[in-house]
Structure 1
Amino acid sequence: MHHNDLARTGQMLAETALTLANVNSARFGKLRFLPADGKVDGQPLFVTNLTIGAATHNVVYVVTEHNSIYAYDADSGAALWQISLNGTGETSSADVGCQDLTPEIGITSTPVIDRSRGPHGALYAVAMTTDAGGNVHHRLHAIDLATGAELLGGPTEITATYPGSGAEGSNGILTFTPALHTVRAALTLVNGTIYMGWTAHCMSGNYNGWLMAYSAATLKQTGVLPVTPNGSQGSIWMAGSGMASDGTSIYFIDGNGTFGTNLNPQGFPADGDLGDSFIKLSATPAPVVTDYFAMSDVVAQAAADNDFGSGGAMLLPDQTTSAGTVKHLAVGAGKDNKIYVVDRDNMGKFNPSANNIWQELSGVLAGGIWGSPAYFNNVVYYGGQTDALKALPVTNALLATTPSSQSPTRFPYPGATPAISANGASNGIVWAAENGPVAALHAYDAANLARELYNSNQAGARDQFGPGNKFITPMIANGKVFVGATNGVAVFGLLN
């Protein structure tokens, strides 16, 4: 899944090959490039010891905006299979004038894998297509990991209605408009239910943000929840990051949109409009909102396009205060250069006078967040736009207000979503992809980000992999680092 676990920490703690001693330009570099027929906006995914035919493979899965899925042998780079999710007479959808996704829109969100489904395990993905009549479709697919075949009677056409008078409403009913929407956030699978969040192209048009739930066993819809049922917008995109979960609840941050400041006795918006909020849902087939946090100036922030939901949510492991109280915390940050730490047991809701949350950090980030943090060894790592990657230790359930270290590199828009490799608590390495005309993969000592171990431009053209792609998260597995690009996936590892 995206960022390795449901807490979205980005940790890979079983990495034994890559160490602080051997990740350098003399011993580490680009091994190969896995070609693809379109942009790779979803994070590559990895499966170990999968039997395909008579052989056992470690497999990396690549999805593209051209609606293709590739299975490659992760060790040799050999192509195992390739499929298209276009229906008969259909193509990937044309560029809709949004610079974020161009020139085509197909599979944008990172899929999720369940090895217990079907004969070999299933990869769930959402594809956007356009038919010969110009009609746009979104479909949920379950794909056999070994063969690429459709599973579970799929695909399922995605439709939705919900009571409300919001932007996509008529006569008291909202109707999901396929042409307006994209699934940007990575798919989330919890307790047999797949959760997906919808946004609009460049957050434009007369739209509502939607959350939908589908059965992983049947691909049938089990729940629908617009985040602004009586308003507009409310994008769930989080720069492609996945919703987080502790197994009983789902956590996500939506960007922009209507927030209803008229609260009911329970402290929830009476009209149900939760734009620009950090939202907690029940992890059930038909999810409901159980708590939330909205900034005291949420209406002004949304009006200024200062989205909270430009970044994703991450759950921290249980933390203990100086008084011995165990806290269940989550962190999130957006465009306003602040980090918000919420108590998952009491998220704070809305108060026009103050943010009643566990901790709010100002002045730590030099730029807004268009991505997600990572966590390792009681340290949170954030990479803001035009900012250095920063390490914020957690002590007594509080994030440090001054970084313990930071990278020498400042990452241009959209910043970086870091990932971690380590062997348990040792050999911690922070990996980050840099966007730009010549992209770069960076590796830093997790204990001291000022110590750069490697970057892919150090050896001249040897390790370069072309222009950058937005919102890319490095994926580490079995001694290799996989980085999505504009026409495939670059694979890095130990040389020789």
Structure 2
Amino acid sequence: MSLTGANETPSDDRGCGDITPKIGITSTPVIDRNRGPHGALYAVAMTKDASGGIHHRLDALDLANSAELFGGPSEIAATYPGTGGNSVNGVLTFDPSLHTERAALTLVNGNIYMGRTAHCMAGPYTGWIMSYSADTLKQTGVVNIAPNGLQGSVWMAGSGMASDGASIYVVDGNGTFGTTLDANGFPVDSNFGDSFMKLSTSPLKVTDYFAPLDVVQLANTDNDFGSGGAMLLPDQKTADGTVKHLAVAAGKDNKIYVVDRDSMGKFSPTSNNVWQVLTGTLAGGIWGSPAYFNGTVYYGGLNDNIKALPITNAMLAATAASKSPTIFAYPGTVPAISANGTSNAILWAAENGTTGALHAYDATNLAREIYNSNQAGTRDQWGQATSSSRR
């Protein structure tokens, strides 16, 4: 099944350093098994027509026969008030040639959420978040992250947006952040570069956020907060029994931020007003999302071991309870857990390199490696590993 239109190609010959030579489907699709006759797969495809024009389209495909559903595909287009980016007369217009889809699609309450990052990492791009109806493929919401500035990409190394069913949570990358705040602590210019944002789903808008105290410096030194994805934790209890609704995120600067989803902390130039900041726990930055299992958070940083960080009284341990014997080179690794309920948990991790490797560790003691794909000579090897998370 091809998602390219007539006389179109999934190639872009501009020689971009981010996605080359193919564009096509660059973000993980999402599946809804209850929509359409047999369930539906939603994907965004990026193509180039015979005249060189770039298109982004949302497709919904029948899981059984790949038939196009709900009148699709739907051409992605948007406008938003603002004076930044490629604006004309106070209006930003989504330019498909400047943007691409990297963050995984997210399905919440009947809407598909997508975030846009830069294509070719050049030009007057800005960060776009859009929502589309899963039933009609019609646009239901648009937010621009830096409408009066530049950049603010949503990429998160391919991770999807997090959601508690009522809100969605996004960490965006380098871009303009407005340090002048209104009476409610929000940037007066609505620029949220390098911020951890909470957005309502209907209407789609930023309702809370956290930006590190060095947010401007992060953008100036290419230390994206949004190089890693967000993860929501199950309800946690403090020592006095107070229930906390927490989320974690980390980026290129090696710090782990734990935020209270009920009051994320906003911005202060003198302090990080969040639940917890872990400095020095990670040896390198994060290009991906963490994993969670049975009261423990797992991170796999750049040039670092995978580290198991238990949660006690709603506080994340600053020192790892266990760590993998393997140190993972660029871009680190994205851990994943398989388990039978709360038992027999295995942490899986892919290693980049000339000869890639799939590792399996005992999630309760990462020092114990159960398997790796190089153990049996060439039998399980997959050859050179590549990374699509580079930014």
Contact kept? 2:98, 2:120, Cα under 8 Å: no
2:299 counterpart of 1:379? no
Letter in 2 for 1:350: F
Q: How does 1:306-345 map to 2 (within 5 A)?
A: 306-345=223-262
Q: 2:130 aligns with which of 191, 197, 212?
A: 212
2 CA distance for matches of 1:342 and 1:316?
10
- Equivalent of residue 304 in structure 1, options 206, 212, 221: 221
Taking the TM superposition and a 5 Å limit, the aligned residue runs for 1:278-293 are: 278-284=196-202, 286-293=203-210
1:393 aligns with 2:310: yes
Matched, 1:294 2:211: yes
What is the deviation of 1:103?
1.8
Report what 2:340 is aligned to. 423
Match status 1:350 vs 2:267: yes
In structure 2, C-alpha distance between the alignment counterparts of 1:98 and 1:414, rounded to whole Å: 19
Deviation, structure 1 residue 301 = 1.0
Counterpart in the other structure of 1:362: 279
CA distance in 1, matches of 2:250, 2:14: 28
Asked if structure 1 preserves the Cα contact closer than 8 Å seen for 2:12 and 2:21, the reply is: yes
Offset, 1:95 = 4.6
Distance in 2, Cα, partners of 1:217 & 1:404: 46
Structure 1 residue 99: Cα displacement: 3.0
Identify the residue that residue 145 of structure 2 maps to in structure 1: 227
Q: Work out whether 1:90 is the aligned partner of 2:44.
A: no
The CA deviation string for residues 429-461 of structure 1, in whole angstroms up to 9 with x for no partner, is 000011112111000000111111111011111
Give the conservation status (yes or no) of the 8 Å contact 1:417–1:471.
Answer: no
Partner of 2:90: 172
CA shift for structure 1 position 96: 3.8
**Larger RCO: Structure 1 or Structure 2 (Cα < 8 Å, ≥ 6 residues apart)?**
1
RMSD: 1.0
The Cα shift of 1:470 comes to 1.6
Tell me the distance in 2 between the aligned counterparts of 1:231 and 1:139: 26
Structure 2 residue 62 is matched with structure 1 residue 137: no
Structure 2 residue runs without a partner (length 5+): none
2:18–2:121 CA contact under 8 A, matched in 1: no
- For residues 187-213 of structure 1, what are the alpha-carbon distances to aligned partners after superposition, in whole Å with 9 as ceiling and x for unaligned? 000000110000002533211110001
User: Aligned partners of 2:40 and 2:61: how far apart in 1?
Assistant: 5
CA distance in 2, matches of 1:203, 1:345: 34
Alignment-derived partner of residue 436 in structure 1: 353
How do residues 112-191 of structure 1 correspond to structure 2 at under 5 angstroms? Answer: 112-191=30-109
1:463 aligned counterpart, secondary structure: coil
Cα displacement (A) at 1:98:
3.2
Residue type of the alignment partner of 2:270: S
* Paired AA for residue 201 in structure 1: H
Structure 1 position 306, deviation (Å): 0.7
Q: Contact conserved, 2:291 with 2:337, CA < 8 A, in 1?
A: yes
Deviations 1:176-195 (A, max 9, x none): 11011111000000000110
Q: What are the equivalent positions in structure 2 for 1:93-104 lying under 5 Å apart?
A: 93-104=11-22
Q: Any unmatched runs of 5+ in structure 1? A: 1-82, 473-496
Contact 1:203 1:233 in 2 (8 A): no
> Following TM superposition, by how much is the alpha carbon of 1:282 offset from its aligned partner in structure 2, in angstroms?
0.5
**TM-score, structure 1 as length reference:** 0.77
CA contact (8 A) 1:433 1:441 kept: yes
CA distance in 1, matches of 2:101, 2:13: 15
**Letter aligned with residue 396 of structure 1:** N
**Residue type of the alignment partner of 1:415:** G
Identity of aligned residues (%): 71
Amino acid at match of 2:225: F
Q: Please state how far the C-alpha of 1:388 moved relative to its aligned partner.
A: 0.7
1:428 counterpart SS class: strand
